[in-house]
Structure 1
Amino acid sequence: MASTTTILERCRVAPPLEGAAAEEQTLPLTFFDMPWMHFHPIQRLLFYKFPCSKPHFLETILPNFKNSLSQTLKHFFPVTGSLFYPLNSDKYPEIRYVPGDSVPVTVAEASEALDLNFLTGDQPRVADDFYAFFSELPPSETSPESEFEKIPLFTVQITLFPDAGVCVGFNNHHIVGDASSIVSFIKAWCSVAKFGSDDKLMTSSDSLPLYDRYAVSDPSGLLNHIWDQMKSFKIESPPLEFPLNKVRSTFILKKRDIQKLRDFVQAKKPHVTHLSSFTITTAYVWSGLARSEADSGEEVAANEPEYFVFAVDARSRTDPPVSAAYFGNCVGMGVAESTHEELKGGDGFLTAVELIGDVIANKVNKKDELLRDAGDWVKKFCGLIGKRLFGVAGSPKFDLYDADFGWGEPEKLESVSIDGDGSMSLCRSREFEGGLEIGVSLPKKKMDAFANIFLDGLKL
């Protein structure tokens, strides 16, 4: 893959050694964290249209970027720390921060060949081109005398597009936190960068993270049960091979589009009651992708199972509820199942809506149902590996389109991780009130077929 950026600096940023950051901190894992132990890293890109010269970037933007990160890290020590994974012992993994720990920061400059306007568009763009804007997590470390493998959790990169804008790329291990947690960290960092200090964080009760692991109730010993499974099933994502031979496209469902689809379902299937924007949107994309297989020349057996898996924020769904400020993983799993023939047929969208709606109505929204099968999450997910699996990354509830470092709101959010795991990305539309923005990564021929299906369906 040809290099499209020039590295200007590699450095590390540590929190100031004051308060909690001056002492070693250990954070035990919960049963919510364990299933994400070997999940692939999560990569997000925020593109900003903020024309500035290279001298201004290096002398003003970059120092504030680093200083604000340092000030924010003193409140978010897990981001700075590492996962300590036990080797040949009965100990549990844990996140540990030691004074002196720091976050790798890469500073880069985009080549003149890269057009920021094109990269932030909605049209198909070569997926490989986005890998220049975030840095890989450093390799894990194991010393001969250590009982643990030390695994880094977070890196960040800032890339200048001279006289055009800036891109900030985040790369994190999922074990450090779910979307709610990482978005809260990014927004806290934005607040410090924009206002010049962490004073606003200190005076806002919902801005500071809560680390109390006792907030997660586990009377049935799920932690031990899931950890035993994780030692038996080591789920690891294979590395990506370049070129990916994929393009990334963005599709918008405006508020009126979603309502039009909702009205269609109500007319055809009046007994279906769960018709949220999430249900409508994911069903529309899931069924559209199944139809695009045939239109792009791929052959899939009619009875081949199709699975849609989605994460559910469990903070308000546990007993007792967990604070919205809880930092870590606190998500459950929903799974809808169909067959390829059902999903690609003329009523595929209606089928998908009913299936996803049933899971949300009867599992997600019913007290005590979401976690009833938590002990089987790992086994269930392992059983889906290698099958036709579709997922969703992100949520309109955890919005990054207001993440302002002082350069204005982002022009575009890209979830790079979907290139490798067969997921769509989902967030609120930046342009259309009440609309949703969908990111998809597919081979070019299949993308063309899907785009036609997506647009034709809205016309009908």
Structure 2
Amino acid sequence: MTTVLETCRIPPPKGAAAELLLQLSFFDMMWLHFNTTRRLIFYNHPCSEAEFFNTIVPNLKHSLSLTLKHHLLVAANLLYPLDADNSKPAFRYISGDSVSLTIAVSGLDFDELVASHARESDQFYDLLPRTPKMSDEGSYQIVPLISLQVTLFPGRGICVGLSNHHSLSDGRSILGFMKAWAMINKSGDDKVFVSRNVESLPSFERPICKDSSRLNGIFWDVMKKIPLKPAATHPLPTNRVRASFILRQSDTKNLKNLIFSARPNIDRVSTFVVAAAYVWTTLAKSLGPAGDENEVLIIGADARGRRNALFDPPVAVNYFGNLLGGGVARVEHRKLAAEDGFFAAAEAIVDEMKAKIYDGDEFLKSPENLLTEMPKYRNMRALAMVGSPKLDFTEADFGWGEAEKVEVLSLDGGGYSVSLSNSGDGDLVVGMSLTKEEMEAFASMFATGLYM
């Protein structure tokens, strides 16, 4: 159904920096043994195969090369030491390094793929690039960091797929790279991109704090004991279906009002809080009792721009890399699944965000606690919030308009995850990946619960 026509390597243009060598920070090391982050961005852009091959593909290759000039780290490799006791991992770019770009044509049903109802997850992986294999070089394993694929649906649309090693960066940085590529492709060169970002071109130097050396050592001592495995780009079969659910502005307003009425003591009730609480309780009720009596919600937080005990001055918002922390809200299953479980969830989320994120950035004071805290939740049913409505990949306009749909294939991994994104008109899109039976139960409860 999908035919790969070409896989090529795109280097930065001549005149780009000759090399780049950066030690990973502890924020990067946290993600060394995670699977790749996988996204598909769909564009409603009817075009012929002739236009695609003769104009669109050459333009994409040219603009990608220009983008790598400003995002050199994307073209780098991860150097993972074979002698982990005497070396630490690093990112390295040298002249000749490049990014893998696959060009394909698909006969899959574009309208079915961008729909909201439950669809088989496995079919989406035709649109995702394969990650180049690891190799050995002297005393290091060489790990490619990103791969890209552009797939044409003749006469209907285009899909841009990307898979990146999470140690490269978090969602904010990858979004910055994609929007830069899109802007450069749309304008034909990098002049507009540079003029708009002259004060905020991506910065790659790893952030230094007074505890950097100690923290890097602590995290590496843990990570080096875990064998480095090739990233599972295509975890097939997934045995999953994926669907999207809309929380309209009127829905979130209604949910906020319910909290204000029932629990007036809960403050800082944001759209994120009500959306996360609603999805969490809906999932708990639809899945039934968990193995452990407690359930947890993992909440991410971006550390950029925060002046605190760890970073003073704060890390600039144009920093390219990983800078994520956050908190974990915990509620007993019986309370979460109760009739007033939504209020218990909202209260737990607000309390955790106030304790760890809002007031004093507590999550940044002792980052090493993550290494001991996260294993405590191993036997509890966990729901992870992936992405943020603030990180809108639909805004990456290659000249084909804003994207029709974004699918986060990373949700197909083990456990339970949910993506939150904007619909473009102020509503929230909730992305879920579950087994068919779980999805049917969740969908039914999601729709009826909005009228509680």
The equivalences for 1:321-400 within 5 A come to 321-385=314-378, 387-400=380-393
The equivalences for 1:49-448 within 5 A come to 49-88=44-83, 89-111=85-107, 114-143=108-137, 146-203=138-195, 204-205=197-198, 207-214=200-207, 216=209, 218=211, 221-233=214-226, 242-294=236-288, 300-301=290-291, 303-318=292-307, 319-320=311-312, 321-385=314-378, 387-421=380-414, 422-430=416-424, 432-433=425-426, 435-448=427-440
- Equivalent residue of 2:364, what SS? coil
C-alpha contact 2:169 2:322 (8 A) present in aligned 1: yes
- Count of aligned pairs between the two proteins: 444
Normalising by structure 2, we get a TM-score of 0.94
Q: Deviations over 1:290-316 (max 9, x none)?
A: 10113xxxx535x52211112210112
Deviation at 1:388, TM superposition (A): 1.4
Deviation at 1:215, TM superposition (A): 5.0
Q: Structure 1 CA distance, aligned partners of 2:377 and 2:8? A: 40
Deviation at 1:242, TM superposition (A): 3.2
Q: Deviations over 1:84-107 (max 9, x none)?
A: 011124211110001000111111
Q: Structure 2 CA distance, aligned partners of 1:224 and 1:13? A: 35
Aligned residue identity for 2:158: V
Deviation at 1:232, TM superposition (A): 3.4
Deviation at 1:8, TM superposition (A): 0.8
Q: Structure 1 CA distance, aligned partners of 2:331 and 2:68? A: 44
Q: Structure 1 CA distance, aligned partners of 2:97 and 2:299? A: 34
Change (3 A) 1:214 1:125: closer
- Equivalent residue of 1:438, what SS? strand
Change (3 A) 1:227 1:325: same
Change (3 A) 1:186 1:380: same
Q: Which segment is superposed worse, 80-89 or 230-239? A: 230-239
Partner of 1:16: 13
Q: Deviations over 1:251-279 (max 9, x none)?
A: 11111111100110111111111211111
- Equivalent residue of 1:19, what SS? coil
Q: Structure 1 CA distance, aligned partners of 2:43 and 2:351? A: 39
Aligned residue identity for 2:315: V
Aligned residue identity for 2:450: L
- Once superposed, which parts of structure 1, at least 4 consecutive aligned residues long, lie more than 6 Å away? 235-238
- Equivalent residue of 2:360, what SS? coil
Q: Structure 2 CA distance, aligned partners of 1:12 and 1:386? A: 43
Aligned residue identity for 2:82: L
Normalising by structure 1, we get a TM-score of 0.92
Q: Deviations over 1:361-397 (max 9, x none)?
A: 1110122412123112123234434541210111111
Q: Structure 1 CA distance, aligned partners of 2:20 and 2:192? A: 24
Aligned residue identity for 1:28: Q
Give the unaligned 5+ runs of structure 1: none
Partner of 1:28: 23
Give the unaligned 5+ runs of structure 2: none
Q: Structure 2 CA distance, aligned partners of 1:90 and 1:389? A: 36
Aligned residue identity for 1:271: N
C-alpha contact 2:326 2:356 (8 A) present in aligned 1: no
Q: Structure 1 CA distance, aligned partners of 2:393 and 2:198? A: 20
C-alpha contact 2:290 2:380 (8 A) present in aligned 1: no
| Percent of aligned pairs with the same amino acid | 40
- Equivalent residue of 1:322, what SS? coil
